Structure 1
Amino acid sequence: MTGLSVRTKLTAWYGGLFLLAGLVLVVINYLLVQSTLPDPARVASTTVGSADALYGVQAGTVVGSPGVAVRLLSGSLDEYRSSTLSTLVVGSAIALVATAALAVLFGWLMAGRALRPLHDITSAARRLEAGKLDRRINLEGPPDELKELADTFDGMLDRLAESFDSQKRFVANASHELRTPLAVQRTLIEVAMADPEVTPELRKLGTHLLHTNERSERMIEGLLVLARSDRGLHARTPVRLDEVTASVVRATAAAASAAGVEVETRLRPRTVSGDPVLLERLVTNLVVNAITYNAAGGWVYVEVRGDPALEVRNSGPVVPPEAVPSLFEPFRRVGSERTGDTRNAGLGLSIVRSVAQAHGGYAEAQPGRRGGLTVTVRLPPS
């Protein structure tokens, strides 16, 4: 059961307070009219006495005794008094109900007008994402409490945007600066291992260092791609997603064969607007992950169509449903955090999600019925 909205509550308060004020006004008006109207018995006695004195005869001789005349006149005046008060009450009640209905209508409209800035703030907050902090309210109006709230919210967004941009620049710059020493380190290890007089122990150590260096290079390259996609796209070109996917499948055929995994494709023509390099990296990460986290004799199914634009399914170990959302976070894998798996850097699905968002789409995943994972990428048409 959902609660009442603020607009409904304000309207109820407006209507209720107006109805209460109207009831008080009707009661006061009723009491004033009641006290103003003369007493029937007194008016009747005064009128009969005045008639006797004026004509020098008893008015009662016409209709009977003076007491009868007083009672008849008093009854007529009492009936008139009751009719007047009843008419006043009925008319006031009808006017009160009609005016209360108008008050509720105008209260609803005024509450909506007063709360409109809050709806703008809520809409802006819902549209915010880590990579899209360019939304602002820019509320115009008098310097009241709502204007102050909107300006405070805009100021907070400015600070958040600056913080995120600074973080992205740092990641990109740090990743770029680390590529050179890693490349130098790899070259020195390869030169040392090329020496024919190197001992088996040193060769084993060099092989291990090369694997570690290769993993570090993959992680640095992934961070650079992630930082680039998080900054958004500066230019877009039409990209045939089916052709990019076919190229990636051909490039990973050797790895799939070595892992004993069969790759099946169904590629329909699909054109999207975006960056061909980033889109190729998105497809590569999905296909490589599907091959890597699989089982011998397993399968990978890659499909390109209208909606979703890309879907990659694979067999493999069972993935708990509660672990699926964390797979899109950097350095996260099923059953481990930053350590325990040296095959990849743990940035694959993070890059997929970031690239999809940079192209105006999104990526989602769900576990397969008999193991493995199904990842779908939805992209807007070109």
Structure 2
Amino acid sequence: MNSERTRLAALYGGLLVMAGVLLLAIVYLLVSEGVYAGIVTAVAPAVPAARLDAATAAPALPTTDWARTAVLEPGQVAVAQKVGTVAGDAALSQLLTVSGVSLAVYSALSVALAWWMAGRVLRPVGVITARARRLSGSNLHERLALKAPPGELKELADTFDGMLDRIQELVAARQRFAANAAHELRTPLAVQRAAAEIGLADDPPPEKVAWIRDKLIDSAANSERLIEGLLLLAVSDEGLRRRERVALDETTTAVADALAAEAEERSITVEVTARPVTVEGDAVLLDHLVHNLVANALRHNHPGGTVRVRVGPEGLEVVNTGPVVDPATVPLLFEPFRRARARRHAPGEGAGLGLSIVASVARAHGGVAGASANPGGGLTARVTLPTDPPRTRPPGPPVSGGRRSGPGTPS
């Protein structure tokens, strides 16, 4: 910061010194124009009338107003001119001397003032720099909180504080993610170990071996879904590696068909209203996005409930019935491993990655994912994506049945 202060001080001081030099030059020019005539005007009446030799008997008359109105002897005019010239030279010499000394003092004061002003202007920058150097993972809660009048530096400090807020939230989210991921991965491993130790301690009967085998297979499947979900979340966080035109309405209809068997098993009606819409993006990621939204709407529902899916140029919306959701917890559902209710380790229960994957895929496509709690229970999830102009094609009919085409991402 010292180099910046030196440059600012040199700039401010140089401008002040240049202004002082210009002012003195103007004063000198104005004074020198009239100093001789003024002295002659003041001195001539006091000069006694005396005869001079022929060389000075007829001097040129001054051109001042006083000379045109006063009546003087020729000798008075000559003497006045000589005295005026000597006095004028002395006055200008004295003016130059005083001006030079004044300019030197003024320059020194200007440089000192410029140095002080530059330091005062850059003081907030020094505060920002010093506090930024002290920041680390252990004190991200500290803020600049710069006390200064409104201006560019105050705005810079407030922007820096806002950036620290976002960094703190990101670091906290990453720490929660690591802790939750470790817990989620440790749980199936603990189940596998316990099943093996308990069931295989002695010579177990065949039915016990079959139970242990099923338990180990379920645990391994849960671990596989969790790892797939983590990998998908990492891939979507990296952004899109390829782009193609994807018919989002067709993708939504295909996902609803694939989940129709699960919906029928749960006695849930799925209604799809699809208007033609095309999105530039990754077809696989968009399929996971739609699948996770519809699958969550099915699994967090009650028997006899409904799921309404609407897709069009305005975006994708999935509305379901189900238990009442606290509106304060809705934004947290888009974080990894967050659930509306505590985990019960029940069959078919997801890993808590579904909506976080939805939000990540939406961000990768330049879109936004959000949700709101329904007053009567359930959730309304919305995803807005940049779309291409709609194609001319009639909307598809509501879907309530079908066959699932393959395994989906953990929700």
TM-score by length of 1: 0.50
SS of aligned partner of 2:371: strand
Tell me how far apart the structure 2 counterparts of residues 294 and 42 of structure 1 sit (CA, whole Å). Answer: 107
- Counterpart of 1:301 in structure 2 is 308
Q: Which one of the candidate residues 43, 48, 60 is aligned to 2:45?
A: 48
Q: Corresponding residue for 1:334?
A: 340
**CA 32–321 in structure 1, closer or farther in 2 if over 3 Å, else same:** farther
- 1:317 aligned partner: 323
Cα offset, 1:18, TM superposition: 8.4
Q: How much has 1:352 moved relative to structure 2?
A: 1.6
Structure 1 CA distance, aligned partners of 2:211 and 2:48? 138
Of 222, 234, 251, which aligns to 1:215? 222
Aligned equivalents of 1:214 and 1:367: distance in 2?
A: 31
Q: Could you tell me which of 242, 255, 259 is aligned with 2:266?
A: 259
2:296 partner letter: N
Distance in 2 between the 1:357 and 1:298 partners?
Answer: 30
* Residue of structure 2 aligned with 1:198, choices 183, 199, 207: 207
Counterpart code for 1:48 = P
Structure 1 residue 369: Cα displacement: 4.1
Unpaired stretches in structure 2, ≥5 consecutive residues: 1-8, 58-65, 81-173, 179-184, 389-411
The code of the aligned residue for 1:28 comes to L
The alpha-carbon deviation at position 282 of structure 1 amounts to 1.5
Q: Residue 287 of structure 1: CA displacement?
A: 0.3
Matches within 5 A, 1:364-379: 364-379=370-385
CA deviations over 1:146-195 (Å, ceiling 9, x no partner) = xxxxxxxxxxxxxxxxxxxxx9xxx9xxxxxx9xx99xx8xx99xx9xx9
Q: Which amino acid aligns with 2:336?
A: P
Determine which of 362, 365, 373 is the counterpart of 1:359: 365
Cα gap change, 1:52/1:18 in structure 2, threshold over 3 Å: closer, same or farther?
A: same
In the other structure, the counterpart of 1:350 is: 356
Q: Which residue of 2 aligns with 1:229?
A: 236
Q: 1:268 to 1:16 in 2, by over 3 A?
A: same
Q: CA 1:289–1:33 in 2, change beyond 3 Å: closer, same or farther?
A: same
Aligned with 1:300: secondary structure? strand
Shift of 1:65: 11
Counterpart of 1:251, as a letter, is A
Larger Rg: 2
The Cα of 1:271 is off from its aligned counterpart by 2.3
> Higher helix share goes to which structure?
1
Give, as a single letter, the amino acid of the residue that structure 2 aligns with 1:198: E
Give the CA deviation at 1:63: 6.5
Q: Deviations for 1:331-366, whole angstroms, at most 9, x for unmatched residues? A: 122355xx5455101111122223333334342333
Question: Which whole-Å CA distance do the structure 2 matches of 1:284 and 1:352 have between them?
Answer: 9
Report what 2:294 is aligned to.
287
Could you tell me which amino acid in structure 2 is paired with residue 43 of structure 1? V
The verdict on how the C-alpha distance between 1:234 and 1:34 changes in structure 2, with shifts beyond 3 A counting, is closer
Alpha-carbon distance in structure 1 between the residues aligned to 2:257 and 2:70: 124
Relative contact order, higher structure (CA 8 A, sep 6+): 2
Kindly report structure 1 stretches of 4+ aligned residues shifted beyond 6 Å: 13-19, 62-66
SS in 1 for 2:387: coil
2:24 maps to a residue whose letter is: I
Distance verdict in 2 for CA 1:230–1:35, change over 3 Å: closer
Do structure 1's residue 242 and structure 2's residue 249 form an aligned pair? yes
The 3-state SS of whatever aligns with 2:50 is helix
When residues 45 and 345 of structure 1 are mapped into structure 2, their CA distance, relative to the original with a 3 A threshold, is closer
**CA separation of 1:27 and 1:318: change in aligned 2, threshold 3 A:** farther
What is the Cα-based RMSD across aligned positions, in Å? Answer: 4.8
Task: Find out whether 1:38 has 2:35 as its counterpart.
Answer: yes
- The C-alpha deviation readout for 1:93-144, integer Å capped at 9, x for no partner, is xxxxxxxxxxxxxxxxxxxxxxxxxxxxxxxxxxxxxxxxxxxxxxxxxxxx
Q: 1:275 corresponds to which residue?
A: 282
1:224 to 1:35, Cα distance in 2 relative to 1, 3 A: closer
One-letter identity of the residue aligned with 1:257: E
1:28 to 17, 24, 31: 24
Indicate the larger mover: 20-29 or 233-242: 20-29
- Give % identity: 41
- In structure 2, C-alpha distance between the alignment counterparts of 1:234 and 1:41, rounded to whole Å: 87
Q: CA deviation at 1:285?
A: 0.6
Q: How many residues align?
A: 250
Q: What is the CA-CA distance between 1:295 and the residue it aligns to?
A: 3.3
Q: Which runs of 5+ in 1 are unaligned?
A: 1-12, 74-166, 172-177
Amino acid at match of 2:207: V
Shift of 1:247: 1.9
Q: How far, CA to CA, are the matches of 2:272 and 2:384 in structure 1?
A: 18
CA positional deviation for 1:307: 2.1
